[in-house]
Structure 1
Amino acid sequence: MVKLMRAAIVKVFSTKHSLTLPAAALGYIEQVLLENEIPEDEWIVGLEFWAREYLKGEDSSSLVSLPALKRAYESLQLGTTDDTAQADPSEVNVESHFSVIDSFDMPPVHFDAVRGGFTTSKPKPSIAGQASSRSAFLRERWGIIKEIILRNENFTPPAIGGHDRSNYLKLTSTRNLLGRAGQLFLLFGMLSRDPEGRLCLEDGEGRVVLDMEDAVPGEGLFTEGCMVLIEGEYTIDETVRVLAMGHPPSEKRDVARGLHGHVDFLGGGAMSLKEEQKYQPSILANTQVSFVVLSDVWLDHPRTMPALRRMLEGYAEAVEYRPMAFVFCGNFSQKGWEGEGGLKRYTNGFNALTDLLLEFPLLHSSHFVFVPGPLDPWSSTTLPRPAIPSVFASRLTQRVPKARFVSNPCRLRYFGMELVICREDLMGKMVRNLVGVKKEGEADMKRYLVQTILDQTHLSPLPISIRPTLWEYDHALRLYPMPSALVLADKYERYELTYEGCHVFNPGRFVGSGGEGGGEFEWSMYYPATGRSERSALTLDQ
């Protein structure tokens, strides 16, 4: 039977459509036919549909790739092709379209400023990093944002000459300022300090000192390391008297996906915008799918386990609405792991959590994701931060089927959606290092932070002297294309808002609001079907 099946596969894919099947692709097709118990007389028809759907893909080639073959099969299951009957979106196996992505598993995608596109480097990134990487990641960040700016309608000159041609905004490089004192210019670059400690603007061609006395900052938070647009006058002192300063315009996810849909940013295979839109009916139909996000789950706090037990009991009783994933963000200790008895407290805390999760076997169909916080072992000042060591995680991962300890940040992929999770006290770091902020009225710091992070297309728009990053893993901190949702888990108060189509929320401290005497324990639930989050809370009796 296997020989007959293989002959049918070769007849359709190789003989009729001139496709080359590697062993992995051939084995996958055989596996699908056997698992679904397809009758022999239906092989040819089914394989023909499959081959046609594969050839429709934007990344199809004569050498069949396994990811593209799987996506073609998923499209047939979803019933989103012209050749198949419409399937019920609510009956799609959503579990097969969910994945957790560690920062250190993401492919090293780099921006090529010459070609204006992205490429994937073959050498594996190094934690130590080469000396050339020290400046390369900043140039890439600058190049990505500059491309976004030049695509913006305000910076694009009309195709046909006319009086409107002089009205568009035009960028000038720092190199072209010399000898043009007294003129106004629009500059784009990164805020930094020169060796004398003066605030400067750096671009790909040079550096100029800024005079901020008359500056009027726009909305957002401005720190060293931010890429900014500056309007100002070049003076005879070879400085720029800044008149206005603002963040660059952002680019919505659909626009970026339309331009770079062929790039595999996450490592699970590239997905075009057209393919992503095929999944929309399934996302909307599965309204019961949700992700629970908690932050600052202090396992050494006396009231944490009772609160977690109450929370898990509630979800275990909800038969039809059990969450697809529970995301636990650190810190997992109130006092940190350093100091006397720190490691023992950590071990006891995770052992207690393991025992608690084992009491709820009905929830073991859910994923349990653990993201380290700033004080978790082995705490490092760099981002991305590796997962909590297996010495603490092994017992939990061995006994809870879908438990996984991942890096900070990490990403959840659900169909074509992308949820970025970052546990970082970002608000405090940004406010402590401000060089400018709008002073008119009361600033909405939550909105300013969200706007800054998304406009900068990066989770840490700060200099590496303040917020060190692993040079060759900077791509894992990139927010381009803009994610579907972003979790900025912070010890700052909770919030939720949407900016340029991206829903951003901070679940707040799970234990922090409880205090020593009880009180509320809060977290957030994110629903992919609506693209929004909701606050959840419980109160323990005294």
Structure 2
Amino acid sequence: MVNAMRAAIVRVFSTKHSLTLPAAALAYIEKELTENEIPQAEWVSGLEFWAKEYLKGEESSSLVNLPALKRAYEILQLGAIDDDDAPDPTEINIEAHFSVVDAFDMPPVHFDAIRGGFTTSKTKSIGGQPSSRSAFLRERWGIIKEIILRNENFTPPALGGHDRASYLKLTSIRNLLGRAGQLFLLFGMLSRDPQGRLCLEDGEGRVVLDMVDAVPGEGLFTEGCMVMIEGEYTIEENVRVLAMGHPPSEKRDVARGLHGHVDFLGTGAVSLKEEAKYLPTVSANSQVSFVILSDVWLDHPRTLPALRRMFEGYAGAAEFRPMAFVLCGNFSQGGWEGEGGLKRYTNGFNALTDLLVSLPLLHTSHFIFVPGPLDPWSSATLPRPPLPQTFTSRLAARIPKARFVSNPCRIRYFGQELVICREDLMGRMMRNLVSVKDEEANMKRFELTAQLVQTVLDQIHLSPLPLAIRPTLWEHDHALRLYPMPSSVVLADKYERYELTYEGCHVFNPGRFVCGGGAAGGEFEWSMYYPATGRSERSALTLD
């Protein structure tokens, strides 16, 4: 029987499809055929489907790749073949398709401007080489420039004609010399020169900007932003800016179609085709939800009673029990520094541990803890590591699915990607604006949040600010990158709660959990996120 099975496998994979089977791949195929009790009469037809599905994969090669072989088998199980025996989406183990990704575990994926694609480094470090100081900025500039050049307004028609002369063209700063009095469209990063003058830098040079006549477009503009500028090059070798705007964004499905073979998260690359096959399963599990809380001050006298009320409510609703609870810092009102700060932290997490232990029905859910700006050991750099084990070891030991991760972090659910960042970004951006429209001071809250969301997604980065204002770890800047555009982004901020969708990406701020809860009768608020719809909704409770 074993010899007959092996002969069938070799005949289909090697003889018919010219594939070389390593011992591990051959053993895996034999194991699946045996464990699933596939009748001998169906071996050849089943192996034929398997081999064809493997060859469709992005990572297929003549020497059979075991992970790609396993992925092809999983696709067939999810119903990639159009027949009446496709498995019921509600019977898929959704836990196997849920993962939490720490920023420091993400592979160092770098953009190669020459190839116009991404490569993965074999080594990474915290400090990095001196060349890394500018390399990550050049990469961000290169990625956005590729997005711009793919935009329909910058793509010349294949055939000549009137339309060919109307498409937009970018000019490098180096090519401005000797062309005073002409109008140009430039793309680069806003910065300051040694004299403190506002400049535009691209990969080839720098030019001073005259902003007197500038008309900023939609969005917030700070140093460190990659912007497009239309202006006149003057005899003083400056650019008189007429208009300034953020680069166009690129929707998730477009970027995934181009780079679906790249494993950005370290959890395995998922192509658009494979992602589409997960959609029936995601839709069928409409009860799956993530609870997102921010500023969970464990030293506040009303926080633990409010958490108990919330947790007991979810524990009592078995059908609607959340798959994950995401608790973002700060976990103390005044931070860990100062007299008694460390003791307050220890007591707060001990009390939270006792609370969660008393609710065993919730132990099937994941508990994810994301540090805030004032949490120990606080640092000005992003990404920042998880909370120290000094405070978390007891909780991690007693709660089976507790996970303490970096800020930012990501949740992978089937083909969806949810980015979680705890950063007071709105205030930081507003304090560092380089150009403000006259009406911006009177802008409504919704308009201001829309400007922030557009800026972050157009800049494909969680912190589009200069290193002097918001330092980042050079070697881990890829963990702050928002390309391809995520399915959803949580911008947990001390700013007021909001939610909106931009270019298909749902962005929301759950608001402070304790905000309004300091006085009797105040509300405690958080957000519920539903992967089936890709949308969030506000939740709140009031203590009697």
Report the Cα distance in structure 1 between the residues aligned to 2:391 and 2:4, rounded to whole angstroms: 51
- In 2, the alpha carbon distance for the partners of 1:4 and 1:240 equals 76
2:116 is matched with 116
Cα distance between partner residues in 2 of 1:27 and 1:416: 29
Shift of 1:517: 3.4
**SS of residue matched to 2:435:** strand
Q: Letter of the 1:104 partner, please give it.
A: F
1:26: how far off? 5.5
Cα distance in 2 for partners of 1:322, 1:2 equals: 46
Are residue 348 (structure 1) and residue 347 (structure 2) matched?
A: yes
User: Residues of 1 paired with 2:301 and 2:167: CA distance?
Assistant: 61
SS in 2 for 1:165: helix
Matches within 5 A, 1:276-425: 276-425=275-424
CA RMSD of aligned residues (A): 2.1
- What's the offset of the Cα at 1:130? 0.5
Shift of the alpha carbon at 1:51?
3.5
CA distance in 2 between counterparts of 1:397 and 1:321 reads 24
**Distance across 1 between alignment mates of 2:353 and 2:19:** 49
**Deviation digits for residues 162-181 of structure 1 (CA, Å, limit 9, x no counterpart):** 12222111111111111111
Deviations 1:447-472 (A, max 9, x none): 00000000000001000010000001
2:509 is matched with which residue? 506
Letter aligned with residue 520 of structure 1: E
CA shift in 2, pair 1:40/1:166, >3 Å: closer
- Secondary structure in structure 2 of the residue aligned to 1:353: helix
Give, as a single letter, the amino acid of the residue that structure 1 aligns with 2:127: A
Q: In structure 1, what residue type is equivalent to 2:502?
A: Y
Residue ranges of structure 2 left out of the alignment (5+ in a row):
none
Gaps of 5+ in 1: none
CA distance, structure 2, for counterparts of residue 2 and residue 347 of structure 1: 59
CA contact (8 A) 1:303 1:518 kept: no
Indicate the percent of aligned positions where both proteins have the same amino acid: 81
Q: Give the stretch that moved more between structures: 437-446 or 161-170.
A: 437-446
The structure-2 alpha-carbon separation of the partners of 1:109 and 1:451, relative to structure 1 and needing over 3 Å to count, comes to: same
Q: How far 1:229 sits from its partner (Å)?
A: 0.5
Q: Give the direction of change, closer, same or farther, for the CA distance of 1:3–1:474 in structure 2 (3 Å limit).
A: farther
Residue 62 (structure 1) shift: 3.0
Q: Which residue of 1 aligns with 2:52?
A: 52
- Tell me the distance in 1 between the aligned counterparts of 2:218 and 2:476: 29
Distance change in 2, residues 1:38/1:190 (3 Å)? same
Corresponding letter in the other structure for 1:372: P
Q: Which moved more, 1:64-73 or 1:186-195?
A: 64-73
Superposition pairs for residues 516-535 of structure 1, below 5 Å? 516-535=519-538
Cα 1:405–1:23 shift into 2, 3 Å: farther
Select between 162-171 and 214-223 the one with higher mean Cα deviation.
162-171
Shift of 1:369: 0.8
For residues 55-454 of structure 1, the aligned pairs below 5 Å read 55-82=55-82, 85-123=85-123, 125-440=124-439, 442-443=442-443, 444-454=447-457
- Change in Cα spacing, 1:252 to 1:24, as seen in structure 2 (3 Å) is same
* CA distance, structure 1, for counterparts of residue 110 and residue 459 of structure 2: 17
SS of the residue aligned with 2:434?
strand
Distance apart, 1:74 and its partner CA: 2.1
Count the aligned residue pairs. 539
Determine the C-alpha separation between the residues in 2 that align with 1:30 and 1:304: 55
Which residue type is aligned with residue 57 of structure 2? G
Q: 1:471 aligns with which of 442, 451, 474?
A: 474
Q: CA deviation at 1:73?
A: 2.5
Aligned to 1:355, what secondary structure does the other structure show?
helix
Aligned mates of 1:360, 1:291 — CA distance in 2? 18
Deviation, 1:232, is: 0.9
Question: For the residues of structure 2 that align with 1:101 and 1:42, how far apart are their CA atoms?
Answer: 43
For 2:487, the equivalent position in structure 1 comes to 484
Q: Aligned partner of 1:89: which letter? A: P
CA pair 423-115 structure 1, distance change in 2 beyond 3 A: same
Higher mean C-alpha deviation, range 288-297 or range 57-66: 57-66
Residue by residue, what CA displacement relative to the aligned partner does 1:43-81 show, whole Å, maximum 9, x if unpaired? 836555434332322221233334323322221221122
Measured against aligned partners, the alpha-carbon deviations of 1:348-392 in whole angstroms (never above 9, x if no partner) come to 211111111112211111111111111111111111111111222
| Whole-angstrom distance in 2 between the partners of 1:8 and 1:400 | 48
Contact 2:79/2:277 (8 A) holds in 1? no
Deviations 1:488-507 (A, max 9, x none): 00000000000000000000
TM-score by length of 1: 0.95
Letter in 2 for 1:50: W
Looking at structure 2, the residues matched to 166 and 15 of structure 1 have their Cα atoms a distance apart, in angstroms, of 54
- Hey, what's the Cα distance between the residues in 2 that align with 1:20 and 1:186? 52
Post-superposition offset of 1:184: 1.1
Deviations 1:176-216, CA, capped at 9 Å, x for gaps: 11111111111110000000000000001100001111111
CA offsets 1:237-270 (integer angstroms, 9 cap, x no match)? 1111111100000000011011111111111111
Q: Deviations over 1:89-131 (max 9, x none)?
A: 22211111111111111111111111111111122x2111100
Aligned 8 A contact 1:328 1:368 in 2: yes
Q: Are the structure 2 counterparts of residues 423 and 43 from structure 1 closer, same or farther at C-alpha, using a change threshold of 3 Å? A: farther
SS at the partner of 2:118? strand
Instruction: Report if aligned partners of 2:77, 2:86 keep a CA contact under 8 Å in 1.
Output: no
- TM-score norm. by structure 2 comes to 0.94
Residue identity opposite 1:264 in structure 2:
D
Q: In the TM superposition, what whole-angstrom CA distance separates every residue of 1:4-60 from its partner, at most 9, and x where no partner exists?
A: 9778766765566554455665665566567x5536647836555434332322221
Q: Is the 1:77–1:92 Cα contact (8 Å) retained in structure 2?
A: no
What is the identity, as a one-letter code, of the residue corresponding to 2:484?
P
- Contact 1:8 1:43 (C-alpha < 8 Å) held by counterparts: no
- Is contact 2:408–2:420 with CA below 8 Å preserved after alignment? yes
Moved more, 247-256 or 164-173: 164-173
Residues 361, 66 of structure 1: CA spacing in aligned structure 2 closer, same or farther, 3 A cutoff?
farther
Greater shift, 392-401 or 125-134, is seen at 392-401
CA separation of 1:55 and 1:159: change in aligned 2, threshold 3 A: closer
Give yes or no for contact 1:315–1:321 (8 Å, CA) kept in 2. yes
SS of 1:435's equivalent in the other structure is coil
Alignment CA distance shift 1:135-1:91 (3 Å) = same
The answer to whether the 8 A contact 1:220-1:438 is kept is no
CA distance in 2, matches of 1:2, 1:408: 51
| Whole-angstrom CA distance in 1 between matches of 2:353 and 2:135 | 43
